[in-house]
A and B are shown apart, each in its own frame.
Chain A
Amino acid sequence: MKIKSLLVIVAIFATCILHTNAQSTYTNPIVDESIIFEEKLGIVAVEAEFFYRQSKTDKREWYRSSKNEKPNAGRDEDTLHVYGASNNAYLEILPDTRVTHADPLVNGENFNNIPDSMPTVHYKVKFTNPGRYYVWARAYSTGGEDNGVHVGLNYKWPESGQRIQWCDGKNEWTWSSKQRTDEVHCGIPYAIYLDILKPGIHDIQFSMREDGFEFDKFILTKDRYYKPEGTGPKVVANAALPDAYPAVPAPKIEKTYFEKLAQSIPKTKWIAAQQFPSLGTNYYEHGKNWMAINPEEYKEAITSTSFDYESGKYDLVFVAVGENDGSSTFRISINGKELGEYSPKISENMFEMGKNSNALWKGVSMTKGDKITVWAKVGTDGQEFTRGRWAGIIFTPVGKGQKIQNTSLSYVQNK
């Protein structure tokens, strides 16, 4: 073997070792058992990355992420979410092999409904005031298969600690204290708690329910009505904690077609479809931008909201979505009086947004507090149904509606 080839092999081998070591540091604790978090006046807050050990790591592990720590532990389709995380760091259970509902569910591998054998992080907490502590945890969920975790106490897993669930606040750091049940998938409030029977040091544990779960911080509070905001209260411990992780700038977010359209002309106001209520309307929130109808359940839907902008005359642009399996029908009303009916043209692609899918009504008088109603009916090509998708309503100064209609913009479905 030539010297050069040998050097290359040695270099590759060394890189692999270094890389493996670097990855393993992301799963090692950064505090030890001597760090005890302290409850003060019935509340305690702990950063997820301040676990003193993790256990049951055969198939998955909790990996720390921060500005300089980017885990590479198999499948992980989402990006880092350091911005907005408390202390600029968080944990994620990796690898993440169940990203969407279409991915196979493997019990005991990428899912674990009953906490027993999957990766668990441990924290020491000293309680002065025993009693019932409601558990709030802060997580970043991007879908429906990374939004659940279990909490336990002293190696026991009470029913009241199982299946903490996140439905609201997708794609942002969000607090939850709701328990998922078969009937209420989005969770029942006030059902997640731990009963601390004696004062002293207890072991608080979080265990995997779904891989890909991203965990930032937790709070235990005796106040049933407490709701954390932002990054929550300060962490209090018996000794000095590690320095804060370096901050990262806010990620650049590409605007959607609707947002670009609405912001293309000054003094333009808008109401996005998802600012209208969906519960009890036959609509559902489709992704982050659209309202839509599931044609297997309903053929029509209706929703209303209030016009809370300055009274006056506006050109009104209704932004619908063209679909290739038919043409949906929309009716827009102001205070019960119909502006008109509109059907976007059948599109070539599965979805299309643009001039062909927008309606324009010129010089519409609007008064603050007016009721705006959007009725939709699914269309069909005789074989399949559309979903009555729409993105929102734009209120632009009179005379500017046509310009908005003609704006040429690229289309982005979801942020």
Chain B
Amino acid sequence: MLKYILVFCTLLVVSSLVAAPKINPPAGRIAIVADGNSPDPDDLGGTAVSLALLRAAGLEDRLVHYSHSCDIIPVKRISKSAEKERHEMMALSCVGTARRWGGFDHIGFIDAKKNLDIAIADLAKAINASSADDPLWIIESGEPDLIGLALDASSKEKHQFVKVITHHPVNDNTGEFYEWEEILEFDVEEVRIPDQNILLKVDEERWDWAKNHPDHRIKWVWLMGKMAEVDDVVQFQKGKWDCSDAGMVYYWITGANINGGEIQPAVYDVRKLLLDYAESKSIDAL
């Protein structure tokens, strides 16, 4: 009997090891440039999950820049009032997640469209602080314009230490001031992973574990994704819970292209990381 129990326990340990995400980020710091003010509201959930993932992985200190609403030229598909609402909601997703999950007091969340000069200067400062041992990984969660403007405003010799993670050609090609090729002409490294919508834009019920979770940090993350689902500007988010841009953050946390990061994380990967952290760090201990 003891033999069977030992075999069972071994299998249990092995299977839990297989399922556990491997936190193995590359050297360097991370910057995130999101939109959310453009027609697609998926950055609301993407922002909440990205910040929660960084905190859960113990990598919040490595985040040196977060800007949102980076779609600088408004598109006609969104009304002025809806655009205004989005700016407020993106700010809420940033500060609300940061307050609940903790660990982000060292940075400000910048509305790139409202404070363009500040956002450019902040990202350029992060670029200028880069070196071979401490590169900057920029997560392109929206249009490439702010990234291009910051690269233009930063020291050319630092660009070799900048890596831009991208997952979707639509992001790359919707800039008003910079085409993707112009971003690459700065001699930054392009780190491309597959479309994260494939596994991280899912039927809403696949996030019911978060909706019904007693921990308000988890529930808050669900609420941010739900805000995008109830948004009435576009229809393609209906019935979907979408944190596709956070897939790039997961990729970086698990190794990026240096340590063989997970290029196509799924909801169960995100869930495992967030719940493991929430269960290990009770709210009272914060």
CB within 8 Å of B: which residues of A?
181, 183-184, 188-190, 225, 277-281, 302-306, 335-337, 369, 371, 373
* B42 shortest CB reach to chain A, Å: 17
A335-B75 contact, Cβ under 8 Å, with A188-B173, A369-B202, A369-B203: no
How far does the alpha carbon of A190 sit from the alpha carbon of B179 in the complex, in Å? 11
Measured CB to CB, the closest approach of chain A to B263, in angstroms, equals 6
- Judged by a CB distance under 8 angstroms, whether B171 is at the interface is no
Q: Which residue of B lies closest to A223 (CB)?
A: B76
Q: A184-B180, A281-B263, A304-B198 are in contact. List 10 more A-B contacts (CB 8 A).
A: A225-B75, A225-B77, A280-B192, A280-B193, A280-B194, A303-B264, A304-B194, A304-B264, A337-B19, A371-B264
The answer to whether residues A335 and B266 also contact, given A189-B173, A306-B198, A369-B202 and a CB cut-off of 8 A, is: yes
A34 CB → nearest B CB, Å:
37
* Contact across chains for B18 and A336 when beta carbons are under 8 A apart: yes
Chain A residue nearest in CB terms to B206 = A369
Q: Which residue of B lies closest to A184 (CB)?
A: B181
Question: Closest Cβ of chain A: how far from B88's Cβ, in Å?
Answer: 25
Which of B15, B167, B193, B264 has most chain A Cβ within 10 Å? B264
| Docked pose: A279 CA to B195 CA in angstroms | 8
Q: Is the CB of A183 within 8 A of B181?
A: yes
In the complex, the answer to whether A280 meets B199 with C-beta atoms within 8 Å is: no
Pick 22 A–B contacts, CB within 8 A, sort by A: A183-B181, A184-B181, A225-B77, A277-B195, A279-B192, A279-B195, A280-B167, A280-B263, A281-B263, A303-B264, A304-B194, A304-B199, A306-B199, A306-B202, A335-B268, A336-B18, A336-B269, A337-B15, A337-B18, A369-B202, A371-B199, A371-B266
B interface vs A, CB < 8 Å?
A: 15, 18-19, 75, 77, 167, 169, 173, 179-181, 184, 192-195, 198-199, 202-203, 206, 263-264, 266-269
* Structural contact, A277 and B194, CB atoms closer than 8 A: yes
Number of residue pairs spanning A and B whose beta carbons lie under 8 angstroms apart: 63
Q: Does the CB pair A302–B263 fall under 8 Å?
A: yes
Q: Is the interface of A mostly helix, strand, loop or mixed?
A: loop
Question: Contacts of B263 on A, CB cut-off 8 Å?
Answer: 280-281, 302, 304
Which of A181, A189, A278, A280 interacts with B181 by CB under 8 Å?
Answer: A181
Nearest 5 interchain pairs by C-beta: A304-B264, A277-B194, A371-B266, A280-B192, A280-B193
Measured in the bound complex, the distance between the Cα atoms of B264 and A277 in whole Å is: 10
The answer for the CA separation of A188 and B181 in the assembled complex, in Å, is 9
Give A338's nearest chain B residue, CB to CB: B18
Provide the residues of chain A in CB contact with B18, threshold 8 Å.
336-337
Interface centre among B184, B198, B267, by most chain A C-beta atoms within 10 angstroms, is B198
Q: Are B180 and A373 in contact, with the CB atoms below 8 A?
A: no
Residues of B near A302 (CB, < 8 A) are 263-264
Name the B residues within 8 Å of A369 (CB-CB). 202-203, 206, 267
Chain A residues closer than 8 Å to B206, beta-carbon distance: 369
Chain A, Cβ-Cβ closest to B173: A189
A183 & B202 in contact (Cβ 8 Å cutoff): no
* Inter-subunit contact A305/B198 (CB<8 Å): yes
Question: In the complex, which residue of chain A has the Cβ closest to the Cβ of B182?
Answer: A183
Chain B's closest residue to A178 (CB) is B173
